[in-house]
């Protein structure tokens, strides 16, 4: 009789273990389903995760004119005056042009490809926006004794710029 009770206890114990494992597997499946559902709802990442991403000029063409549609936004992200960046682009692209709509657009009197404009924009960013020491975009340009100087707000470095 004691043997029967011992076997019954072992069987009950085994049943409880099986039930526990089944519940645990069921909980894991529910958790996985919830997790998959959550990841499916998340929006896709649009950026690279960098704090500063160089802006890309959006162009449209009117005959022989090229217009940078988001010029004001580009200037705002670079923290530079539209007149300063426009002057640089006129010189580098060898094109005449004009600021339109209070500096929010730039019209260039030449037919240029997006690659040409964005390449010159990248050169401008490397030369007069990013700090040469720390590589951060937290800079501004000061004129000291007739020399334009790039001053980094993050590390305090000063470098002359063209």
pLDDT in tens, 74-133: 999 999 999 999 999 999 999 999 998 888 899 999 999 999 999 999 999 998 899 888
pTM: predicted TM-score of the whole model, two decimal places: 0.67
Q: What is the pLDDT of residue 4?
A: 65
Number of other residues whose CB lies within 10 A of the CB of residue 74: 22
The predicted model gives 139-150 an average pLDDT of 89
Helices (H), the chain: 2-41, 71-78, 82-93, 114-128
Confidence band of 156 (pLDDT split at 50, 70, 90): confident
Residues sharing a CB contact under 8 Å with residue 130, sequence separation 6 or more, in sequence order: 136, 137, 139
Q: Is the pLDDT of residue 66 over 90?
A: yes
The phi and psi torsions of 89 (rounded to 5 degrees) equal -65, -40
pLDDT of residue 26: 76
Closest CA to 54 of 142, 117, 133: 117
In this prediction, residue 53 carries a pLDDT of 82
Residue 121's pLDDT is 95
CA-based nearest residue to 109, from 162, 51, 66, 80: 66
Instruction: Say yes or no to pLDDT of 3 above 90.
Output: no
**pLDDT score of 71:** 93
Q: Indicate whether 2 pLDDT > 70.
A: no
Q: State the Cα–Cα distance between residues 122 and 56, nearest whole angstrom.
A: 9
Spatial separation of the C-alpha atoms in residues 74 and 57, rounded to whole Å: 7
The first and second tokens of residue 143, run together, are 């004129």
Q: What is the pLDDT of residues 18-59, one digit of tens each?
A: 777 777 777 777 888 888 888 888 887 665 556 778 889 999
3-state secondary structure 78-121: HCCCHHHHHHHHHHHHCCCEEEECCCCEEEECCCCCHHHHHHHH
Dist. CA 78–CA 2, nearest whole Å:
85
pLDDT reported for residue 94: 92
Residue 154 has pLDDT above 90, yes or no: no
């Amino acid at each position: 009789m004691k043997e029967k009770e011992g076997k019954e206890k072992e069987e009950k114990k085994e049943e409880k273990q099986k039930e526990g494992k089944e519940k645990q597997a069921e909980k894991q499946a529910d958790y996985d389903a919830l997790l998959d559902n959550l990841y499916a709802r998340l929006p896709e990442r649009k950026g690279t995760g960098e704090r500063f991403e160089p802006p890309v000029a959006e162009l449209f063409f009117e005959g022989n004119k090229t217009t940078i549609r988001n010029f004001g936004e580009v200037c705002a992200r670079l923290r530079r005056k539209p007149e300063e960046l426009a002057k640089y682009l006129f010189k580098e692209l060898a094109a005449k042009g004009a600021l339109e709509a209070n500096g929010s657009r730039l019209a260039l009197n030449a037919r240029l490809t997006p690659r040409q404009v964005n390449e010159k924009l990248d050169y401008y960013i490397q030369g007069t926006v990013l700090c040469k020491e720390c590589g951060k975009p937290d800079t501004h340009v000061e004129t000291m004794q007739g020399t334009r100087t790039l001053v980094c707000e993050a590390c305090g470095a000063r470098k002359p710029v063209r």
